[in-house]
Amino acid sequence: MNQSQKPLDITARQSGQSGFYSDVVKEHFFHPQNFMENEEGYEADGMGMVGSPACGDVMRVWIKVDPQTSRITDCKWKTFGCASAIASTSMMSVMLTENGGMTLDQARNIKPQDIMERLGGLPVRKIHCSVLGDKALRMAINDYYRRQGEIDKIEIEQGRVIDKVLKITDHDIEEAVLEGADTLEKVQNKTKVGTGDPSCIPEVEQLIRFYKEKYFG
Amino acid sequence: MKQQTKDKNKKLKPAKKITRPVLAYLDNAAATSLDKRVLKAMTPYFSDIPANPSSLHAPGQAANAALKRARKSIAEHLNGHEDEVIFCSGGTESDNLAVLGTISAAAKFIKTNHGADAVPHVITTAIEHHAVLEPLLHLQKTGVIELSLIHSDKEGLIAADDVISAVKKTTVLISVMYANNEIGTLQPIADIGRGILKYRKQNNSAYPYFHSDACQAAGYLDLNVEKLHVDLLTLNGGKIYGPKGTGLLFVRRGTKIGAQILGGGQEKGLRSGTENVPGIVGLAKALEIAQQERIKESTRLTVLRDRLIKGLLKIPKSRLNGHPIIRLPNNVNISFMDIEGEAAMLYLDAKGIACSTGSACASTSLDPSHVILALGMSYEAAHGSLRFSLGRQTTREQVDRVIKYLPGIVERLRLISPVSLDMSHFTNNQ
């Protein structure tokens, strides 16, 4: 059977590859692209950070922007986390800067799914907890506009931030419930919500009930 | 017809060979390879003797004889009796049988003696293996038992006095592991056992029973149940160069315990199911070799262990988890600040070094190792922990390979990491 005709299943390991991670993930993990080797002297136009070391993932993203074209000309990052966390931030930096760089509007719309697709998929339990780079990026873009004085272009994170440490929004929880997570434990397995900021757990439980009723009656 | 044969052959194709050679397998606490001598002892029982040991015909009796020999050999190594050895599928099943079996058998006794509302009380430690903790936490959650968790000191040692002073009238079971699987700390089993005996004598009571999980200890420590004063002891073949999927529970004569698997009544009715004869023969052989070689092997590995610890602690912002001396001869567990364990483990894997990590990212749960957290270490430190468990194949060259490559790997991951915490973050100050 022709592999390319099969629909791409981004949640499963790529068939035909041995091991836990895809070859692309391994490539970016062992040879990370664009990571910030030396912060000194690097003049970023915007910076964003998400996560905490206690949760097991921290991502920091720096961008340089061409003000004429609003395109990202450079992206640097640092990540504390597992192989998929490092590989996904590395891949995101490549996606942002290839082909002359993404515009800020395009960059804002990068989703974890887009990064995973380029990585050739991630093991199921790695998906939500390790791909946080897009959130750090959106913070960096807002930071850029703030520094530029273009306050009107700052976009508050779509949805409401529930977990202030991990920047997990009600949308993330909605998505997890839609994917079948119907208990706090299952939603946590997908999103890690509440591990950095346990005070939000009662609200998370409420949201799970709300979305369960909304979608599953 | 021809097509069928072809398909069949395709199916039976052996698994793809590991392309990258393993140059240093240092994950022997997770699984050991099967000893060639064990394999040799097992081989005839796979195909030459087809029968069920319960069958009365000659082939059945041949299988039964093998089973008896294995049981006798194991009983001798434990200094117990043949009828005290219950074979099962491994450490987890053995732990579950010990815990669930004794509690279910004691429930009626507790109600008769302490009132209809009384529930059995159980004591275990916060650093116990999941195979003991999970069934106990489940029973606690469902109101079947009252549970006391004894905390270790910051080096992972459980004080015998802490255990004994937690005993009350309703205590039916105390479960303390012999050696910890993650940090290798050895517990004072004999001291706890003596304390329990004294309590039982003073109170003229059959309870509490004493169970110890000795899966990690079996290759290095004395398993004499009379010296340890245990009523129940768990062993696992897959951790002592025996076959995976084999294990046993030692159950002292007179110990009241209920079966968890019901059926044909094998293993004195405590573990139904046709006996795994080749597995049991292998388990007996593996235990025999492990106990024969344990002192020599302990001496050899202690030197390598300390060499590895000394070499790795030279890495800045690193810390040994567990006790420096009162630990298994094959266990090294170190936390490195500012990096995540799974990433370091995979970089080591690329250098042909296999180890494991207490990081949440490498497990199916959200939290990092409960053992390292129980030592009072921070989440950050637990995420950055690596365990190297040495074994029979471990050489000085392999240990030196880790010492050679890990500093560079830690340095590189720290370069990628946005986190830079000081040493105070090793411990949990909350």
Judging contacts by C-beta atoms under 8 Å, the chain B residues touching residue A58 are: 417-419
Q: Which two tokens stand for residue A94?
A: 């490549």
Task: From A132, A137, A115, select the one nearest A61 (Cα to Cα).
Answer: A137
**ω before B418 within 30° of 0 (cis)?**
no
- B60 CB-near residues (< 8 Å, 6+ apart): B51, B52, B53, B54
Which contiguous run of DSSP H or E holds residue A46?
A: strand A46-52
DSSP letter at A14 equals P
Pick the CATH number of B294-422 from 3.40.50.300, 3.30.390.50, 3.30.70.260, 3.90.1150.10: 3.90.1150.10
Query: What confidence tier does A157 reach under pLDDT thresholds 50, 70, 90?
Result: low
Q: Which amino acid is at B88?
A: C
Chain A CB within 8 Å of residue B372 CB: no
Chain A CB within 8 Å of residue B364 CB: yes
- Residue A55 phi/psi, 5° resolution? -80, -15
- Say which range, A93-102, A188-197, B271-280, B360-369, has the weakest mean pLDDT: B360-369
Reduce the DSSP state of residue B104 to 3 states and report it.
helix
Q: Is A75 a catalytic residue?
A: no
- Residue A15 phi/psi, 5° resolution? -70, 155
DSSP class per residue in B282-293: HHHHHHHHHHHH
Q: Report the 10 Å Cβ neighbour count for A98.
A: 9
Chain A CB within 8 Å of residue B213 CB: no
Per the DSSP assignment, residues forming a β-bridge with B347 are: none
Mutate to test the interface with A, among B345, B351, B357, B361 (most CBs of A within 10 A): B361
- Residue B27 phi/psi, 5° resolution? -130, 40
Contact yes or no for A37 and B361 at CB 8 A: no
CATH level 3 topology of A158-217: Arc Repressor Mutant, subunit A (1.10.10)
C-beta separation of A207 from A190 below 8 A: no
Judging contacts by C-beta atoms under 8 Å, the chain A residues touching residue B366 are: 129, 188-189, 192, 195
Mutate to test the interface with A, among B338, B342, B386, B420 (most CBs of A within 10 A): B342
Supply the pLDDT for residue A4.
40
Judging contacts by C-beta atoms under 8 Å, the chain A residues touching residue B338 are: 53, 80
Chain A CB within 8 Å of residue B56 CB: no
Q: Which two tokens stand for residue A75?
A: 């992206």
Q: Which two tokens stand for residue B270?
A: 């405590």
Chain A CB within 8 Å of residue B368 CB: yes
Q: Which two tokens stand for residue A165?
A: 């440490």
- Of chain A, the percentage scoring pLDDT greater than 90 comes to 41
Supply the pLDDT for residue B42.
96
**ω before B21 within 30° of 0 (cis)?**
no
Contact yes or no for A192 and B366 at CB 8 A: yes
- Compute the C-alpha angle B70/B75/B79, nearest 5°: 155
User: Rounded to an integer, what distance in angstroms lies between the CA atom of residue B285 and that of residue B268?
Assistant: 22
User: Rounded to an integer, what distance in angstroms lies between the CA atom of residue A63 and that of residue A48?
Assistant: 9
User: Rounded to an integer, what distance in angstroms lies between the CA atom of residue B64 and that of residue A79?
Assistant: 59
Q: For chain B, how far is it from start to end, CA to CA, in angstroms?
A: 70
Domain ranges of chain A: 9-155, 158-217
Domain ranges of chain B: 41-289, 294-422
Q: Residues B88, B215, B355, B361: which is the catalytic one?
A: B361
User: Rounded to an integer, what distance in angstroms lies between the CA atom of residue A178 and that of residue B393?
Assistant: 49
Find, in chain B, the residue whose alpha carbon is nearest to that of A57: B340
Q: Residues A75, A82, A129, A200: which is the catalytic one?
A: A129
User: Rounded to an integer, what distance in angstroms lies between the CA atom of residue B95 and that of residue B93?
Assistant: 5
Supply the pLDDT for residue A10.
35
Q: What's the average model confidence in pLDDT over A170-190?
A: 86
Min Cα distance A45 → chain B (Å) is 18
Task: From B11, B31, B10, select the one nearest B22 (Cα to Cα).
Answer: B31
- A14 CB-near residues (< 8 Å, 6+ apart): A22, A23, A120, A121
Supply the pLDDT for residue B19.
54
Supply the pLDDT for residue B362.
63
User: Rounded to an integer, what distance in angstroms lies between the CA atom of residue B59 and that of residue B24?
Assistant: 43
* Residue located via tokens 């365990």: B387
C-beta separation of B358 from B385 below 8 A: yes
Strand B121-125 relative to strand B171-175, pairing: parallel
Pick the CATH number of B41-289 from 3.40.640.10, 2.20.25.90, 1.10.1060.10, 3.40.50.2300: 3.40.640.10
Judging contacts by C-beta atoms under 8 Å, the chain A residues touching residue B361 are: 56, 81-82, 85, 126, 129-130
Supply the pLDDT for residue B363.
64
C-beta separation of B350 from B18 below 8 A: no
Q: What's the average model confidence in pLDDT over A201-214?
A: 81
* Greater pLDDT, B7 or A17: B7
Supply the pLDDT for residue B359.
80
Min Cα distance A76 → chain B (Å) is 10
Distances (CA, A) of B47 to B11, B14, B42, B277, B426: 21, 20, 10, 11, 54
Among partner residues B16, B346, B383, which is closest to A56 by beta-carbon distance? Answer: B383
Q: Which amino acid is at A180?
A: G
| B contact residues 334-363, partner A, Cβ 8 Å cutoff | 338-340, 342-343, 346-347, 350, 359-362
User: Rounded to an integer, what distance in angstroms lies between the CA atom of residue A138 and that of residue B278?
Assistant: 60
Q: Which two tokens stand for residue B82?
A: 């043949």
User: Per residue in B284-307, pLDDT tens?
Assistant: 999 999 999 999 999 999 999 999
* Residue located via tokens 């998906």: A127
C-beta separation of B245 from B89 below 8 A: yes
User: Rounded to an integer, what distance in angstroms lies between the CA atom of residue B225 and that of residue A178?
Assistant: 54
For B383, half-sphere exposure in the C-beta direction (CA atoms, 13 angstrom radius) is: 24
DSSP letter at A33 equals S
C-beta separation of B125 from B176 below 8 A: yes
Contact yes or no for B419 and A53 at CB 8 A: yes
Q: Which two tokens stand for residue B347?
A: 């970089």
Q: What's the average model confidence in pLDDT over A92-112?
A: 94
Inter-chain Cβ pairs, chain A and chain B, closer than 8 A: 74
pTM of the model: 0.86
Task: From B186, B188, B197, B198, select the one nearest B229 (Cα to Cα).
Answer: B197
Q: For chain A, how far is it from start to end, CA to CA, in angstroms?
A: 40
Q: Is B361 a catalytic residue?
A: yes
Distances (CA, A) of B222 to B181, B279, B290: 17, 23, 11
User: Rounded to an integer, what distance in angstroms lies between the CA atom of residue A23 and that of residue A6?
Assistant: 19
User: What is chain B's pLDDT, residue by residue, as a tens digit (430 residues)?
Assistant: 444 444 544 555 555 555 556 789 999 999 999 999 999 999 999 988 878 899 999 889 999 999 999 999 999 999 999 999 999 999 999 999 999 999 999 998 999 999 999 999 999 999 999 999 999 999 999 999 999 999 999 999 999 999 999 999 999 999 999 999 999 999 999 999 999 999 999 999 999 999 999 999 999 999 999 999 999 999 999 999 999 999 999 999 999 999 999 999 999 999 999 999 999 999 999 999 999 999 999 999 999 999 999 999 999 999 999 999 999 999 999 999 999 999 999 999 999 999 999 887 666 666 789 999 999 998 888 899 999 999 999 999 999 999 999 999 999 999 999 988 888 878 876 5
Supply the pLDDT for residue B416.
94
- B110 CB-near residues (< 8 Å, 6+ apart): B118, B119, B120, B170, B172
Burial grade of A27 (CB within 10 A; 0-12, 13-18, 19 or more): middle
- B347 CB-near residues (< 8 Å, 6+ apart): A30, B409, B412, B413
- Residue A2 phi/psi, 5° resolution? -75, 120
* Residue located via tokens 């062992």: A30
User: Rounded to an integer, what distance in angstroms lies between the CA atom of residue B361 and that of residue A65?
Assistant: 34
Q: ipTM of the assembly? A: 0.84
Judging contacts by C-beta atoms under 8 Å, the chain B residues touching residue A86 are: 343, 416
Q: Residues of B396-414 as b/e, b for ≥16 C-beta within 10 angstroms?
A: eebbebbbebbbebbeebb
Q: Which CATH architecture has domain A9-155?
A: Alpha-Beta Complex (3.90)
Min Cα distance B340 → chain A (Å) is 5
For residue A3, pLDDT over 90 is answered with no
Hey, do B41-289 and B294-422 end up sharing a CATH topology, with the first three levels equal? no
Query: What confidence tier does A31 reach under pLDDT thresholds 50, 70, 90?
Result: very high
Among partner residues A54, A60, A82, which is closest to B343 by beta-carbon distance? Answer: A82
Min Cα distance A102 → chain B (Å) is 24
Q: Which two tokens stand for residue B387?
A: 């365990």
Min Cα distance B261 → chain A (Å) is 29
- Residue B247 phi/psi, 5° resolution? -170, 180
Judging contacts by C-beta atoms under 8 Å, the chain A residues touching residue B16 are: 18
